[in-house]
Chain A
Amino acid sequence: MKVWLNGKEVETAATSLTLLTEELDLPVEGVAVAVNNRMVPRSQWADYVLTEGVHIVIIKAACGG
């Protein structure tokens, strides 16, 4: 299935957000995910079913003032 991740089209086998974050090997803390411009709380990742072509934004901590 193809989805948009941070503006790039990527191929993924993950069917839920939890599986996607595992596939991407993301750090446990300091990450937030939005699908189609809506933030999805971590507690809902497991049940969040990914569908073809959705826009996913994943952010993490960075240095900044």
Chain B
Amino acid sequence: MEKLVIAGREFSSRLFLGTGKFNSNELMTQAIKASGTEMVTVAMKRIELGDKEDDMLQHIINPGIQLLPNTSGVRNAEEAVFAAQMAREAFGTNWLKLEIHPDPRYLLPDSTETLKATEQLVKMGFVVLPYCQADPTLCKHLEEAGAATVMPLGAPIGTNRGLQTRDFLRIIIEQAGVPVVVDAGIGAPSHAAEAMELGASACLVNTAIAVAGDPVAMARAFRQAVEAGRTAYEAGLGVQAESFVAEASSPLTSFLDE
């Protein structure tokens, strides 16, 4: 497998992991290990007074793992910029998963605010990985604004419905000058493998692993699926649609022999 390079950092693993929805930090830690991931997302929350809960960060801090703070919870570009500054301070990294969803029901990314925030954050020195609609034109705009990757959704977040946006992802992958990370909607290892076969640079998976019967085994399955899909892409997929034979008759090209 070719190494993935984002903003000058090399990644051997093309599976990014979200840390939400695990039953325990212990389980999360094991899943991270089993997945082989080198990039995990982390959210921020306001502290509660007298809160003595386990500090999740100590479970994932590891020199081999890039922390990717997200801006989950913000509703517009202004809030995203504030959240980004807080994240940079808290986690000591300028990497950022930019996600802006004003709609609390489907958590769909707001394209105009995401583009606006990307422009500002890039100028402020952030490495911006925006979660976005599977909109090829938007992705080009984000790229031009300086996004380090684009992260189009495969399906609405948490739905596990796979690559509903397949046709658009294909165009995005074809056109993109930055890595394309498929985020949201990947519900099974086969979905991740398909995204990689299409030529996606990486997949970001959370729910499908965190809520699996055995999250650690599922993390391993996704690791294998992402590797298999990427290797298949690099190997060049074989004939799928129809099998071509050299045609004996040549009604269209016989004029060339005249």
Contacts and interface: CB of A to CB of B under 8 A. Distances in A.
Question: Is chain B found bound to chain A in the same assembly?
Answer: yes
Interface of A: 5-8, 10, 24, 26-27, 29-34, 37, 39, 41-42, 57-65
Contact of A34 (B19, B47, B82): B82
Give the 5 A-B CB pairs with smallest separation, nearest first: A64-B43, A65-B18, A65-B206, A32-B90, A32-B89
B44 interface: yes
Given A30-B55, A39-B82, A6 B47 contact: yes
Given A30-B90, A34-B86, A59 B47 contact: yes
A64 B41 contact: yes
Interface string B54-90: 0111100100000000101000000000100111011
Contact of B44 (A29, A41, A60, A65): A60
Contact of B49 (A24, A33, A41, A42): A24
B33 to A, nearest CB: 16
B105 interface: no
Contacts of B85: 32, 39
A65 B91 CA distance: 16
